[in-house]
């Protein structure tokens, strides 16, 4: 399958304008044989707010026209997409990513680990780590800071995820996550990881880009710089089901999951 991370700027507070851009990009990517297109965290709405009122002002509902239009484009073009946005759900706001797949109802992931930054200071944490069955394989979604605690990615991998999709808004100061932690999560779980950061500036914050598509060994298959660009890589999801690494047959072999000594891990749950 062919995966694309659309590293881009965002029009703050204008979901329709961002949807227009996403739809045009989906058309381009379909012509390039892309099966799954990933857009950044809070792509449709923007992220940098300083009050609960400002967060509510940019948030959109999951049945908004902007999401419906992108979903229809996915149906028409026969392509999958993951798109981030600030979600308004009654009086509650979530940091959400929607998975759009032709022939399926939209499916959602709500950010479960929240930093004290921007939109996340005013949202409710999600309470689930779903693995989505798709026609491409099993996909897990995390959002930005969700990558920091290793347990979230490990749970997805233990539940069968073959690809971790990570929409993100990494600002200046988050270079470690972009350069190293994303690579570690791929290698330590033997799953593919595709990160999609944004670029540009928004309400005093600057974003670093550095999106990546990483294979199960931690090898970077495609990497972006600090400007708007789209990276594309071909991955083979079945490889992520093989958790045994054979460096020298019979002499140097390792198992990612079978080697765990879970009796020692009690403090993780305290």
Residue 270 has what pLDDT? 79
Residue 193 and residue 72: Cα distance in Å, rounded? 26
Cα first-last separation, the chain? 40
Task: Please state which of the ranges 142-151, 212-221, 230-239, 244-253 shows the lowest mean pLDDT.
Answer: 244-253
User: Using one digit for the tens of pLDDT, what is the confidence trace for 50-98?
Assistant: 999 999 999 999 999 999 999 999 999 999 999 999 999 999 999 999 9
* Its pTM surpasses 0.85: yes
Q: Is 87 exposed, middle or buried (0-12, 13-18, 19+ CB in 10 A)?
A: buried
Q: Show the tokens assigned to 60.
A: 């959109």
Tell me which residue of 213, 198, 221 sits closest to 4, measured CA to CA: 213
Residue 269 has what pLDDT? 81
Residue 156 has what pLDDT? 98
Residue 246 has what pLDDT? 87
CATH top-level class of 2-269: alpha beta
User: Using one digit for the tens of pLDDT, what is the confidence trace for 95-138?
Assistant: 999 999 999 999 999 999 999 999 999 999 999 999 999 999 99
- What mean pLDDT comes out for the span 157-176? 97
Domain positions in the chain: 2-269
Residue 235 has what pLDDT? 98
């Amino acid at each position: 399958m062919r995966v694309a991370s659309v590293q881009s700027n965002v029009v703050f507070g204008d979901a329709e304008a961002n949807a227009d851009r996403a739809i045009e990009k989906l058309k381009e990517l379909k012509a390039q044989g892309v099966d799954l297109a990933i857009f950044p965290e809070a792509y449709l709405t923007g992220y940098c707010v300083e009050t609960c009122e400002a967060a509510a002002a940019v948030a959109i509902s999951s049945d908004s026209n902007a999401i419906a239009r992108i979903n229809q484009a996915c149906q028409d073009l026969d392509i999958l997409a993951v798109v981030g946005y600030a979600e308004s759900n009654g009086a509650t706001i979530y940091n959400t990513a929607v998975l759009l797949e032709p022939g399926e109802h939209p499916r959602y992931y709500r950010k479960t680990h929240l930093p004290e930054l921007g939109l996340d200071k005013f949202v409710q944490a999600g309470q689930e780590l779903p693995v989505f069955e798709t026609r491409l394989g099993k996909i897990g979604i995390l959002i930005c800071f969700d990558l920091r605690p290793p347990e979230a990615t490990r749970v997805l991998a233990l539940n069968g995820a073959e690809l971790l999709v990570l929409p993100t808004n990494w600002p200046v100061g988050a270079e470690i996550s972009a350069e190293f932690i994303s690579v570690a999560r791929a290698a330590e779980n033997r799953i593919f990881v595709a990160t999609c950061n944004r670029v540009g500036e928004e309400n005093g914050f600057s974003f670093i880009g550095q999106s990546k598509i990483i294979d199960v060994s931690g090898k970077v298959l495609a990497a972006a710089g600090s400007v708007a660009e789209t990276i594309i890589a071909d991955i083979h999801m079945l490889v992520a089901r093989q958790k045994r690494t054979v460096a020298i047959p019979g002499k140097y072999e390792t198992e990612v999951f079978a080697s765990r000594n879970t009796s020692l891990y009690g403090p993780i749950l305290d």
